Copies of this chain bind each other. A is one copy, B any other.
């Protein structure tokens, strides 16, 4: 599939003509085609990241609502620490930042 994408994007990069440098940051056609192909996959990843982000925030708010409806606590800090640690372990400092954003999105309005 990556090959198909590469071929399609290669044409696109080629057809772009004078805009190639502006769009891909290089006017070398082979490099521009390769960049276009990789960008297709990055765009696909971004669409998935956005969809998972939304699903996760919704699920997380559902957890909070379920807990409070049963007379429980609004948050479980040990669970939040576990998630922070998981992301930090996998992605380093960026992981901590990402987890903090995810946790905040999942808490919903305070």
Q: Which positions in A face B, CB cutoff 8 Å?
A: 21-28, 30-31, 34-35, 38-39, 41-42, 45-46, 48-50, 52-56, 59-60, 62-63, 66-67, 69-76, 78-79, 83, 86-87, 90-91, 94-95, 97-98, 101-102, 104-105
Q: Say whether A28 contacts B59, CB under 8 Å.
A: no
- Do most interface residues of chain A lie in helix, strand or loop, or is the interface mixed? helix
Q: A90-B50, A101-B98 are in contact. Are A42 and B24 (CB under 8 A)?
A: no
What residues of chain B lie closer than 8 Å to A95, measured between beta carbons?
Answer: 50
Copies held by the complex: 2
Partner of A22, one of B26, B41, B78: B78
A90 to B60, CA, bound (A): 18
